A = this chain, B = another copy of it.
């Protein structure tokens, strides 16, 4: 492991005391720290023991940067279908950035208004790897995958209602993508997409 390489805490289902203890232990080491699924209240407690911690309320994550990783020259294109998909996308962004990657955000380019996607095609095609975040019918990764000759990491979100079945519909659509070069992570798993994209970007 390289110096500074982040350590990660998944806060969901952990008490404030448990997260605090983990953070304290990590602070004894040199690593940067990323904590996902963290409420604002939890963060307030952490700030007391580590004033350098920074919170992203959109991503519901906090980071503690101690020694920045060198930023990659290539970048990750992070493409989002709608406004409600932003929290998942931002979790991916925070993750990828802390791991030393440059991230270009292209938001609100869902397939119902596909011209917006085309306006942004150059930015997407210039990336080394693309993350596409979408809920409901989950069609965007297939469209992007057909337009771009780069690995596409599809992130289904639980956005929707009724037959979206909390993201199952988007997940299935993405697994069945007719475009080559598309892979899928778990529903709402922005962290996983950001981590994997960073790994690929820095190859």
Contact = CB atoms under 8 A, between A and B. Distances in A.
Interface residues of A, number: 69
A180 B151 contact: no
A185 interface: yes
Contacts of A83: 13-14, 18
Nearest to A84: B13
Copies of this chain, how many? 8
Nearest to A117: B114
Interface string A158-177: 11111111111111111111
A156 B176 CA distance: 13
Nearest to A157: B162
Contact of A183 (B112, B153, B156, B162): B153
Contact of A175 (B147, B181, B186): B186
Contacts of A150: 199
Contacts of A191: 180
Q: Which of A163, A179, A181, A184 is the most central at the interface, judged by chain B CB atoms within 10 Å of its CB?
A: A163
A152 to B, nearest CB: 9
A200 B180 CA distance: 12
Identify which of A139, A146, A158, A192 gathers the most chain B CB atoms within 10 Å of its CB. A139
Interface in A14-31: 14, 18
A113 interface: yes
B111 A146 contact: yes
A63 interface: no
Contacts of A89: none
A81 interface: yes
